[in-house]
Amino acid sequence: EFGLMDDPAEVEVATACARSGSRKPQGLPSVRDFAFTATLGEGSYSEVKRATYLRTGQEFAVKVLDKAFLKRKGKMSTALDEKNALVRLSSGHPGIVRLHHAFHDQYQLYFVIDLVPNGEMQTLLSRIGSLSVTCARYYSAQIVDALAFMHAKNVVHRDLKPENLLLDENFRIKICDFGTAKILEPGAESDQTFVGTAQYVSPEMIQKNETSFSVDFWALGCIIYQMIAGRFAFQGLSAYITMEKIKKVEYAFPEGFDEEAKDLVQKLLVREPTVRLGAGAPGTPYGMHTLRSHPFFSVIEWETLWNGSVPRLQ
Ligand code: ATP
């Protein structure tokens, strides 16, 4: 029997929720406390369902993972990594989905997370093609702010892409899917598993299976490019060709691409991970501070990023 929930994590989540002011549940919840209403999405190893928590009437997204399937695919530890990353982040950031409860029964694991009602950034991009520079700037700033929090908790996401950027009730971003996330403690050995999605994967991940916080900044560069250009920065006829282009950092900007955005993307899509903007140690020329103060973000008010007005989508 896989004792996923026999560790102290549930206690940690409850404590984190209590700290941030939300109500502490009376006793641990179980699947009987939820009424499942719709399917929100399906992943390779999970199904995400909309559900009402019967004790409070509050709505959540519940990620359901099948134990036997995970075992067969050798993915139990991945599920545990996902939960551990979510627990790490459960003190809460407006740009990251929060885990409220994690429990299991004989057959399944359940992660109860914030319901994010307005779908994926990818769907929005497919619908409207590309975003205005104002919108792209706003969403990029939200990703940067969420990454700063995530990385400060030593969590690297490793699969940032528009499918994993959900839009909340006000059309602000919430990063989801920590299924490939990793906790990178300082001084610990680098993880050597290849993960990610072809178009957003970094050269060092392709060449050396090397993970660091910097892989999220590479993906950020790809996402900013895509939001403005309306197409992938790197795309070949196959995943192999796409990755060959990535290894050579072979991409081109379309005519008229905003100059400041271009400068930022060029400073993110850098082969050497340590000199990617945002990835350097605090206070260094490549630190988070330099990323936040890049000219592309000069009009961004970081203090009101999560409660100020949201630019009209266009
Ligand atoms: P993949 O195999 O694609 O990586 P996954 O198994 O890791 O997927 P998620 O990406 O976490 O699963 O979720 C699958 C989909 O379910 C998401 O892309 C999204 O459309 C939907 N979804 C996930 N979390 C939420 C949420 N909190 N609120 C609303 N919808 C969600």
Q: What is the pLDDT of residues 51-107, one digit of tens each?
A: 999 999 999 999 999 999 999 999 998 899 999 999 999 989 999 999 999 999 999
Which of 81, 114, 145, 159 is catalytic? The answer is 159
Q: Name, in order, each residue with C-beta under 8 angstroms of 24's C-beta and a sequence gap of 6 or more.
A: 14, 17, 18
Mean pLDDT across 111-128: 96
Pocket test for ligand 1, best of 39, 47, 48, 97 (most atoms within 8 A of CB): 48
Lowest mean pLDDT among 18-32, 200-214, 255-269, 296-310: 18-32
Checking if the pLDDT of 19 tops 80, the result is: no
Average pLDDT, the chain: 89
The pLDDT, as a whole number, for residue 8 is 38
Q: Is the sign of the CA dihedral 13, 14, 19, 20 positive or negative? A: positive
Checking if the pLDDT of 109 tops 50, the result is: yes
pTM summary value: 0.90
Place of tokens 């996330």: 181
The protein residue with its alpha carbon nearest to ligand 1, atom 21, reads 41
Mean pLDDT across 257-282: 95
Tell me the pLDDT tens digit for each residue of 132-187. 999 999 999 999 999 999 999 999 999 999 999 999 999 999 999 999 999 998 76
Residue type, 206: I
The protein residue with its alpha carbon nearest to ligand 1, atom 4, reads 43
Residue 34: which H helix or E strand, with range? strand 34-42
Pocket test for ligand 1, best of 37, 40, 90 (most atoms within 8 A of CB): 40
Contact 251, 275 (CB under 8 A): no
Residue 159: active-site member: yes
